[in-house]
Structure 1
Amino acid sequence: MATARGNVDEIRNRVILGEFGVRNVHTTDFPGNYPGYNDTWDMQTFQKNFRIDVVQLNDNFMEFDMVGIDAAIANAFRRILLAEVPTMAIEKVFIYNNTSIVQDEVLAQRLGLIPIKADPCLFEYRSSDKDSAEEEESEIDTIKLRLKIKCSRNPSAGKDSSDPKELYLNHMVYSRDIKWVPIGNQADVFADGNIGPVHDDILIALLRPGQELDIVMHCVKGIGKDHAKFSPVATASYRLLPEITLLDTVRGEKAERLKGCFSQGVIHLEDMNGEKVAKVVNSRLDTCSREVLRHDDLKDLVKLGRVRDHFIFSVESTGILTPNLLVTEAIKVLMAKCRRFLSELDSTDME
């Protein structure tokens, strides 16, 4: 009976990678997928098993484990990170002068994709019924930026020089040339803030003597669902935790080949009585390529699987917000969705 229970536990908790397919592909906690197994959802059990472990965190990247959760929730969290965490981005571009070779439409598109460093929590969504005229900007929903630059010849350039960097001044327009123009009381409110492009080395256009740009930009609050320029992440993805189990001792030349079948750091060779023996030291590093299954003398010695409810998340920020803040905001959005859903259920029951 214990063996049968163990087999059901393995079926429910592991995704097994075979030579020609994948077994136990169910990734949902919805009751009834596994006959003979009492998988009724329980809050206390969920609270006991659920955890989040931060593995790596810096200014632009975060890796963390989300354990004990349903795949539907994990994927909802990923989609919120991509499309529903608000940021500030350039929405309106007023081109007063553009004599560069870059067309107005292309230039506006390039400007719109430049990530703007500003806390979206300090701004409101711009009303859709506002007129698009420049006079309608407001300090509570708009950030105003200005790009005014003109290329000229460098009078101190050498006669024999052919390098544009020496011949011309302001011939390369970078994001650092975009300046913040405070609206209303923004200069006081954001006195300590550094509003502007996240990166100062983004190339916008190339100019030659006499060519110039005179552009005003309006940044507004939005979400990635409306346009990709509002998405706060460069990448947001997850994968299931790999699990590699050796079914028998692998020695000598087989151990060497076994090590080469996996990503670096997964298999370690230990010296036992003068012979190399393979040991699994870090399954997490594996990419589940199933290369080992191509070797007839090795494929029956290894079981490849993935832990069904252990998700490894990777979040790379565009720099607008730090990754840990992005994760926090995504959780808030998910909680708001749940509250709204429960509210709708309550109102339906009352009717």
Structure 2
Amino acid sequence: MRLQETRRPARLILESGDVFTGVHFGAVGESMGEVVFNTGMTGYQEILTDPSYCGQIVTMTYPLIGNYGMNVDHVESRRPYVHGFVVREFSEVPSHYKSMESLEQYLARNGIIGIAGVDTRRLTKRIRSEGTLKGLLTTLDPSPEEIEAKLKAPLATDQIDRVTTPVVYRAPGEGRRVVAMDFGMKQGVVRSLLARRCDVIVVPARTTAKEILDWRPDGVMLSNGPGDPEDVPHAVETVRSLLGKVPMFGICLGHQLMALACGARTEKMRFGHRGANHPVKDLRTGRVAITSQNHGYVVSEASLRGTDLVLTHVNQNDGTVEGVVHARYPAFCVQYHPEARPGPDDSDGLFDAFIEMMDQVREGRWTPYAEAH
């Protein structure tokens, strides 16, 4: 008999009434969250530690997870922020020369509930048909009344305040000074900037425009992060106040915040984009990049009309907005993750474009997009 077959039972109960049974691994207890799925074949370490998943119960569609364990080289934040982890089968004995602990040990140490033995194909199909659903992940035995009350309660909307850095910190470099607004930033963003010798100042999400400008930055980075961008109007106002004063580059949530600051709208997607193989077309060059993505909201293309934003990138699967550039100010942003690890590095050059834009502005040779095109 396999060890997994002797474990405590666990259940994932959806607001739709569907119940998925399995066995527990990691921590015990109960957790609420939005149930989503990720189609990546590898990269569960990065997924678990990506702050953009704060408040979500993540389902992995690849059937075997945990076979290479956990190590410090492939994490994206100081701790995991997912509210649960759903897999078909997990490896109890990892095999990799860098492995420092098993997936189960990592989840248990960080208080994350895992459930294995789930028909993840059926669960994914349910999410695709119904949209993302609220779920209760439990190793306990709550009554039907308790389950109903918990599934009716609204989910928290303060994810950014929970994941942002509490204090300013610096990743020193010798080049251009970049202030990075941490809305739930993956460390891959910092690594990508440091690889280009930037002097990176990471600031909390509620930092004001004046405080940012007091650092006299060459550029401002708007990071990825969790939740609905409309839940953080203070961040939208900060971005609006910075536009035109300093070059800006936004990723994922940062892209959505820039769009809102310019008068566009965002909307919730049916089940979002979460995976490492999404094709995105650059409308300016016709080139298609394979990208890593993790988002449940998207900028409405129709809402770009009447703004100063120009559509530059679209998703080849569903035609959604994947990137825009400001027509008058040095600012651009993308919905996907050019810093992705693991995953394709087709779009890594966007960081080089940010460096070039900062240099052009500093040297007085930058031309507004509207004039250059």
**Higher gyration radius (CA):** 1
Q: TM-score, normalised by structure 2?
A: 0.19
Higher relative contact order (CA 8 A, sep 6+): 1
Q: TM-score, normalised by structure 1?
A: 0.20
